[in-house]
Structure 1
C-alpha cells in the first residue's frame, strides 16, 4: 500500500513542502514518483519518517538525524532506544510542570518562592563556562560589556524583541511551518540581529548557539514556554539561515 504526499502530510500534521525539503536534502525520499509528478510513500518510507519525527521530538537537528539513520542499527533496537529517551523526556517535563504548578500555587497564595525548588539545578556559572569553551573568553567578555552598556531602556527593548521573536516562532511551529520559508527566515534574521547586539556569531557559532537552545533543557524550556516545537524550529531554521546568509 502507498500513500500520497498529501495524505502523509495530513496524517502527520506537517506540510508537503517539508516532505519535499526532506527529499531534497536526502533525508526522506518518496518510494516512487508517478508520471504525473505525484510523490508516493510506502511502508518502509513511513517507518523511516516515523524515526525522523521521533528524533526531532528528541531535539536533534536534521544533519544529526541523517547521521543516526545511517547507523547500522536494526529498526526494533532503534525504536526501543527512542522510546526510552522519550520516556526520560516525559519524566523531565513532569518534574518541570510540577515546579511550575508549585510556583503558581505560591503566587496565588502570596507565598514567597522557595529558592531550593524554584531554581533547583540552575547554575549560572555553567553558561559562562560553555560560552568560553565554545566561542572564547573574548566573546563572553564582549557580551557582558555590551549588556551593561545597553542601560535599562535598551535591556527592556531587547527583552521585548526576544518575546516578539519567540511568539512568532511559536505561531510558525504550531502551523507546521517549514524552517526555510520566508516568514520563518525573517524571524531568524531578527534573532541573529538580536544576538548580535552583544556578539556577532558567524555560521558555525550561530549553529552552535541555537543547538544549545534545544540541547540544554534550561534554554529549551525558555523557548518551549511559547509553545511546543519552538526551540526545535529555531534551531532548524538557524541551519537554513546560516547556509544562506552567513557563509
Structure 2
C-alpha cells in the first residue's frame, strides 16, 4: 500500500510543499518517484512522518529531529517514548480542564472555588501509591468520580471526611477500645468512606478489600503525616487496630 504526496499530505494535515521540503532536507524521502516526478510514500515513510510531526509539536527543529531519528536504534522504543510523553501531556491538559471547570461550576453555583480542589484531583498527591497498589484505572476512576461532583458536593465530602477523622480522634482520646461498639461503628463508616470508584471496596471484591483496608490501616501508623491526622501515633494505632479487627471479622 502506498499514497501519493497529495493523499499523504491530506491525511497528515500538512501541505505537499512541507513534504517536498522534508525530502529536500533529507528528513523524509518518498518510497519511490513515479512518472512526472510524482512522489509515492509507503507504510515506513508514513510511520516516519508521524514521528516527525510528533517531534515538531514539541517545538523541536528539523535539524534536531533528523539527529534524533538518525541516532534511534529501535523505532518501536522511540514510539513508546512518544506515547509516554503524549500521555503526560494529556494528563497535564486534563488537569487544566478540570481546574477551569471547577472554577466555572463554582461561579455558576455562587460559591468561591477552593484552591485545594482547583489545583489537584481527589488522589493526585497519592498517585504513585494508588497506581502501584491498584493500577492506573483505579487512579483514573477515582479522579473522574471526584471531578464529576459539583463544588458543593466536593465540599460536603470533605466535611464528612473531616468529621470522620475528628470522631476517630475523639474516640481515641476518650479511651475507647478498638473492639468497642463505638470503634467498630467508626470502622464501618471508614470502610464505607473508602468505597470510591476504582477501589476493591467499591467493586465488592472481598479479598482485595480486606487487603486494602489492612494496608491503609498500617499506613496510618507508618506514615507520620497520617499519624498527625489522627492526633498522634497512639490515635493512629487505635484506628489501625479497629480497622484490622473490622476487616477480619465483619468484611
The reply to whether TM is greater than 0.5 is: no
Larger Rg: 2
Q: Which structure's relative contact order is higher, taking Cα pairs within 8 Å and 6+ residues apart?
A: 1
TM-score (norm: length of structure 1) = 0.43
TM-score (norm: length of structure 2) = 0.43
